[in-house]
A and B are shown apart, each in its own frame.
Chain A
Amino acid sequence: MTRTHSGAWWLWALGLAVVASRTTNPVLLALVAAVAGFVAVTCRAAAPWSSAYGMFLKLGLAVLGIRLVFHVLVGGFTGTTVLFTLPEIPLPDWAAGIRIGGPVTAEGLAHALYLGLQLATLLCCVGAANALADPRRLLKSVPAALYEVSAAVVVALTLAPQLAVSARSVRRARMLRGDPARGRRAIRTLLVPVLEDGLDRSLHLAAAMDSRGYGRTAGLPRRTRVLTALLVFGGLIGLCVGAYGLLDSAAPAIIGAPTLLLGVLLAVTGLLIGSRRVRRTRYRPDKWTVRSVLIACSGLAAGAVTIVADSLGTADLVPTTSPLSFPDLPLLPSAGVLIALLPVALVRRETRS
Chain B
Amino acid sequence: MIRFDNVSVTYNGADRPTLSGIDLFVPEGELCLVVGSTGAGKSTLLRAVNGLVPHFTGGKLTGRVVVDGRDTATHPPRELADVVGLVGQDPVAGFVTDSVEEELAYSMESLAVPETVMRKRVEETVDLLGLADLRGRALATLSGGQQQRVAIGAALTAHPRVLVLDEPTSALDPGAAEDVLAAVHRLVHDLGMTVLVAEHRLERVAQYADRVIWLPGGGAAPVDGDPGTVLAEAPVAPPVVRLGQLAGWSPPPVSIRDARRLAGPLRERLEPITPPVSESVSGREILAATGVTVRYGNTTAVSGVDLKVTTGERVAVMGRNGSGKSSLLWALQGSGKRSGGAVVVDGADPAKLKPPARRAKIGMVPQQPADLLYLHTVATECAQADTESGRPEGTCRALVDSLAPGIPDDRHPRDLSEGQRLALVLGIALTPSPDVLLLDEPTRGLDYPAKTRLAEALRALSRDGHAVVLATHDVEFVAEVATRVVVTADGEIVADGPVEQVVTSSPVFAPQVAKVLAPRPWLTVAAVETALATR
Contacts and interface: CB of A to CB of B under 8 A. Distances in A.
Contacts of B370: 193
Interface string B7-42: 000000000000000000000000000000000000
A196 interface: yes
B170 to A, nearest CB: 15
A154 B355 CA distance: 39
Contacts of A211: 50, 52, 77-78, 80-81, 84-86
Contacts of A201: 93
A204 B90 contact: yes
A179 B355 contact: yes
Contacts of A154: 96-98
B372 A279 contact: no
A189 B375 CA distance: 8
Given A161-B140, A281-B109, A173 B96 contact: no
A176 B52 contact: no
A273 to B, nearest CB: 19
B490 interface: no
Nearest to B371: A173
Contacts of A213: 78, 81-82, 107, 110-111, 158
Main SS class of interface, B: helix
Q: How large is the interface on B (under 10, 10 to 19, 20 to 34, 35 or more residues)?
A: 35 or more
B118 A177 contact: no
| Interface core residue of A158, A173, A217 (most chain B CB under 10 Å) | A173
Nearest to B81: A213
Main SS class of interface, A: helix
Contact of A178 (B107, B155, B389): B389
Contact of B335 (A175, A210, A280): A175
Interface in A203-223: 204-217
Interface in B63-90: 76-82, 84-86, 88, 90
A285 interface: yes
A179 B388 contact: yes
| Interface core residue of A154, A180, A196, A216 (most chain B CB under 10 Å) | A216
B113 interface: yes
A188 interface: yes
B109 A178 contact: no
B138 A48 contact: yes
Nearest to A165: B140
Contact of A216 (B97, B111, B363): B111
Given A154-B97, A188-B374, A176 B115 contact: no
A217 B113 CA distance: 13
Contact of A281 (B82, B113, B354, B359): B113
Given A172-B330, A213-B81, A177 B372 contact: yes
B428 interface: yes
A155 to B, nearest CB: 7
A280 B81 contact: no
Nearest to A190: B374
Contact of A280 (B76, B112, B154): B112
Interface residues of A, number: 48
B366 A176 contact: yes
B93 A217 contact: no
Contacts of B110: 212-216, 280
B21 to A, nearest CB: 26
A94 interface: no
A285 B115 contact: yes
B78 A210 contact: yes
A308 to B, nearest CB: 41
A176 B112 contact: no
Contact of A209 (B96, B101, B138, B372): B96
A99 interface: no
Interface string B95-106: 111100110011
A177 to B, nearest CB: 6
Contacts of B406: none
A170 interface: yes
B368 A169 contact: yes
| Interface core residue of B109, B158, B356 (most chain A CB under 10 Å) | B109
Contacts of B111: 213, 216
B119 A284 contact: yes
Nearest to A209: B96
Contact of B374 (A189, A209, A281, A282): A189
A192 interface: yes
Nearest to A278: B112
B389 A192 contact: no
B395 to A, nearest CB: 14
A178 B366 contact: no
Contacts of B371: 169-170, 172-174, 193
B55 to A, nearest CB: 8
A216 B82 CA distance: 11
A180 B355 contact: yes
B56 to A, nearest CB: 5
Given A176-B366, A204-B94, A212 B115 contact: no
A300 B141 CA distance: 37
A275 to B, nearest CB: 13
Contact of A205 (B93, B102, B336, B368): B93
B363 A176 contact: yes
A283 interface: yes
A136 interface: yes
A213 B140 CA distance: 23
Contact of A283 (B118, B158, B335): B118
A173 B366 contact: yes
Contacts of A136: 98
A34 to B, nearest CB: 30
Contacts of A216: 78-79, 81, 110-112
Contacts of A204: 88, 90, 93-94
Nearest to A47: B136
B122 interface: yes
Nearest to A154: B97
Nearest to A48: B138
A189 B380 CA distance: 13
B513 interface: no
| Interface core residue of B52, B96, B363, B374 (most chain A CB under 10 Å) | B374
17 contacts: A157-B98, A169-B371, A172-B336, A175-B355, A177-B359, A177-B428, A178-B432, A193-B370, A204-B94, A210-B55, A210-B78, A212-B107, A212-B154, A215-B110, A282-B115, A283-B118, A283-B119
Closest CB pairs A-B (n = 7): A213-B81, A283-B105, A208-B94, A213-B110, A178-B356, A173-B371, A204-B93
Given A172-B336, A216-B81, 18 more contacts: A48-B138, A155-B96, A158-B98, A173-B372, A175-B358, A179-B388, A180-B354, A200-B93, A204-B94, A207-B56, A207-B94, A209-B96, A211-B77, A212-B96, A213-B158, A216-B110, A281-B118, A283-B109
Interface of A: 48, 136, 151, 154-155, 157-158, 161-162, 169-170, 172-180, 188-189, 192-193, 196, 200-201, 204-217, 279-285
